[in-house]
């Protein structure tokens, strides 16, 4: 099992910005609250797929294929993010290029047959 380095990011950002780590965490909290408030205002469809997680599970099929369908990574965007989308500032190329807050599966296509599985759980 690898080390969880997510807690190191504020310290790294503080060094790069020549700020105290505490100040970075305080500013990050303000931004996180604003993002959470914005997301809470969005309409969401929750699709519950209650099977054991794994590459062949329905959950895995729906996740991978949904990302593959919606991703703009290295292809002409069908539904591009807005010009001021925060993801354009992300340090991960696949996030910036895909228009999704995701690193995994953005380079993959999708199998249209997954839509029948998605429909099964969404209705």
Residue with tokens 């807690």: 7
To the question of pTM greater than 0.85 for the whole model, the response is: no
Compute and round to an integer the Cα radius of gyration of the chain.
18
Residues 16, 6, 109, 112: what is their CA dihedral angle, to the nearest 10 degrees?
-140
Q: What percent of the chain has pLDDT over 70?
A: 94
Q: CA 42 to CA 78: how far, in whole Å?
A: 20
**Average pLDDT, stretch 37-64?**
89
d(CA 104, CA 84) in angstroms, rounded, equals: 23
Q: How far apart are CA 90 and CA 63, in angstroms?
A: 22
């Amino acid at each position: 099992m690898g080390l969880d380095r997510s807690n190191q990011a504020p310290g790294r950002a503080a060094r790069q910005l020549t700020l105290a780590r505490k100040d970075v965490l305080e500013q990050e909290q303000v931004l996180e609250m604003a993002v959470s408030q914005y997301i809470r205002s969005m309409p969401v469809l929750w699709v519950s797929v209650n099977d054991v997680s794994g590459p062949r599970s329905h959950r895995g099929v729906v996740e991978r294929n949904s990302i593959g369908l919606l991703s703009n990574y290295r292809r002409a965007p069908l539904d591009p993010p807005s010009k001021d989308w925060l993801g354009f500032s992300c340090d991960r190329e696949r996030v910036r290029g895909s228009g999704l807050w995701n690193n995994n599966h953005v380079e993959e296509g999708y199998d249209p047959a997954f839509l029948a599985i998605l429909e099964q759980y969404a209705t």
